Structure 1
Amino acid sequence: MSVVASMGRKEKAQGAEPSIAPLIELAGPDMERVNALILDMAGSNADMIPEIARHLIDSGGKRLRPLLTLAAAKAFGYEGDNHVKLAASVEFMHTATLLHDDVVDESEMRRGKLSARMLWGNQASVLVGDYLLGQAFRMMVEVGSLDALRVLSDAAAVIAEGEVMQLAAAKNIETEEAAYLRVINAKTAALFAAACEVGPIIAGSAPEMRAAYSAYGTNLGLAFQLVDDALDYGGSSMTLGKRVGDDFREGKVTLPVVLAIRAGDARERAFWKRTIEDGAIEDGDLDRAIGLLRAHGAIAETVSRAKAYGEAAVAALSATPAGPYRDALVGVVAFCVSRVS
């Protein structure tokens, strides 16, 4: 954790908060091309497809995953156009996952707006998500790299597997920490890892460079998700892009809850069973849940775990080529962790 902490102290000492602005500036011209390709590939004779895609694409978000793909390719001196197609593919995979997630979780909000399922219904959301996945694979094939296709298609399978694992663990207060980490490794970290690994692949880099960027993405993804878990009970709606406490209301057993249940007594366990498993949430229950998490240090411990994964992400890059892109990727880690610092 010392690497992340020292980065944060340095930036604050210089009067600047951790930011992904350097990454956005470096990848800006390529990201404009990605955005144009996204809009083009989201087009369809079925009017509902571009409407729903545009709704989600325009609802905000930092497009972090495609930015990672662009930076990972440029860090190794890539000069072609295929990184743009792969970045758009990664964003389509992510967008499809959001559409499917909101249906499974029965979410009402996404990034501060009504979710697509609330506006167009569950069936349309699932089908448009499937369409975007199809378009993502179409672009991957156009790139012509079997290795890149293999990495991203493997990630798609792992993400789907993670969805099923999360469904099995939903509303189950017996969920263990190891099981939860397997879920977020599949659901979140797998796409981060793939987004980073395809960069050195198309740049023709050595296997150890691919492994290093994959490890960076995996650990960044885990840190990113654990920060979100902590923010759901200790953040703001503006930071989260959804209502604070949505995980609680949806019966999600995230790491803070796992840690609090493990440390709690029988009375507290009964509270978690009533609210998480049975869904019998009453006025004041969210405040009580937050109080229990804080009393057991569960939020702080989740943040500590996120920082540890952040440190591992930075360490993974240490043996890769130095330069502005690597510096920007290190800055992404500091930004991720700073959301709860």
Structure 2
Amino acid sequence: MGGPDSLTKDTAHDVASHRIASVEGENGGGKEDAKDNALQALSTFLRDDMEACNREIVARMQSPVPLIPQLGAHLVAAGGKRLRPLLTLAAARLCGYEPSPERQRHVGLAACVEFIHTATLLHDDVVDESTLRRGLASANAVFGNKASVLVGDFLFARSFQLMTADGSLKVMAILSAASATIAEGEVLQMATQNDLSTPIERYLEVIHGKTAALFAAACRVGAVVAGRPEAEEAALEAYGTNLGMAFQLVDDALDYAADQQVLGKTVGDDMREGKITLPVLAAYQAGNEEDRAFWLRVIETGEQHDEDLPHALDLIARTGAIQTTLERAQSYARAAMQALDIFPESEIRQLLMDAASYTVSRVN
């Protein structure tokens, strides 16, 4: 896609709608095609809800300010798993929510969750100076930092409009608290950057804030719209929290273990940015004196050379740091599945359990 002047408002809407239609076609191939990807199977099961959510997202990205739908079309074109809104829709269905044609609260709140997530991505890419997002040029690389920050603000505002339209103070409390927690997590990550003395517990606090909190809120509001008891709200919140922790741990492992084309972003970005993640902490703590001196140089002082990333990957492989990270992710995934024990057996419950299992086996 070209720069910010290459699309009018109308064509931006058309591109976004076309991309969503393409994604729906890819995800609509039936259960046989979806067996090997639990998220695709979940999306297929919830196809009608996801289509309604996607239409809501495209509609709410519209604005008389042309740059907003242009940048929105760029984000939609990049695709993505849409996991967080999918969790809201799935949680509502698990809890027996029955929408009416006139009132589909789960759809509006799923779109709200996606706007919160996308706003944080726009801001993160500016902070991290990222140039790739989901295999394409990041929005800040195409449109500039100012536009990315301001459109991120717009999406946050849209999310709060959707909360207000839902009309539930409880829902607003859950999602606004999650938004604040995400910001705290990002600030805490910045505070731990370049600091190899960061305890693993503090790292886990970071990923809870930046990732797991929104997973938890996305799931919990599904129970709220269905009017379910607090115990079921708490169970879905626990499911989302543990799923989010597993998801981010795997993301951090993939930054040192994935194929760049499959990952959709530059491998080694976390090292270049001096981010403290479990693979680095595990490799640093398990390394010898020479290994630790290497990590101190590249992470704490930021002195990096072209040959450092291959050496870092070798150290991480040699110390079993990826395995350490994935084992912890697997423990969170198991906890997520156990949280669903409160619900009776059903196809949607099994799909959510499969999604937790898939999270720790994915390659991007």
- TM-score higher than 0.5: yes
2:112 aligned to which of 85, 89, 93: 89
Q: Is 1:83–1:202's contact at 8 Å kept on the other side of the alignment?
A: yes
Match of 1:293 in 2: 316
Q: Structure 1 stretches (4+) deviating beyond 4 angstroms?
A: none
Deviates more, 1:229-238 or 1:101-110: 229-238
Find out whether 1:150 has 2:165 as its counterpart.
no
CA apart distance, 1:18: 4.5
Q: Is 2:239–2:339's contact at 8 Å kept on the other side of the alignment?
A: yes
**Any gaps of 5 or more consecutive residues in structure 2?**
1-33
Match of 1:64 in 2: 83
TM, length-normalised to structure 2? 0.87
Rounded Cα–Cα distance in structure 1 between residues aligned with 2:53 and 2:73: 14
Match of 1:11 in 2: none
CA apart distance, 1:22: 2.2
Deviates more, 1:316-325 or 1:106-115: 316-325
Match of 1:39 in 2: 58
Find out whether 1:166 has 2:189 as its counterpart.
yes
1:332 partner letter: A
Match of 1:193 in 2: 216
Deviates more, 1:122-131 or 1:264-273: 264-273
> Residue deviations 1:203-243, cap 9 Å, x none?
00000000000000000000001111111111112432212
Find out whether 1:74 has 2:93 as its counterpart.
yes
> Residue deviations 1:169-201, cap 9 Å, x none?
112222110110000000000000000000000
Q: Is 1:99–1:125's contact at 8 Å kept on the other side of the alignment?
A: yes
1:59 partner letter: A
Q: Could you say which structure has the greater relative contact order, defined with CA pairs below 8 angstroms and 6 or more residues apart? A: 1
Query: Could you say what the CA RMSD is over the residues aligned between the two structures, in angstroms?
Result: 1.5
Match of 1:249 in 2: 272
Find out whether 1:120 has 2:143 as its counterpart.
yes
> Residue deviations 1:89-115, cap 9 Å, x none?
000000001001001111111011111
Aligned residues: 327
2:60 partner letter: M
Q: Is 2:223–2:232's contact at 8 Å kept on the other side of the alignment?
A: yes
Match of 2:294 in 1: 271
Percent of pairs with identical residues: 52
Rounded Cα–Cα distance in structure 1 between residues aligned with 2:219 and 2:111: 13
Partner SS for 2:275: coil
Residue correspondence of structure 1 range 11-30 to structure 2 within 5 A: 17-30=36-49
Rounded Cα–Cα distance in structure 2 between residues aligned with 1:51 and 1:170: 33
Partner SS for 2:38: coil
Rounded Cα–Cα distance in structure 1 between residues aligned with 2:159 and 2:344: 29
**Any gaps of 5 or more consecutive residues in structure 1?**
1-14
CA apart distance, 1:277: 2.1
TM, length-normalised to structure 1? 0.93
CA apart distance, 1:340: 5.6
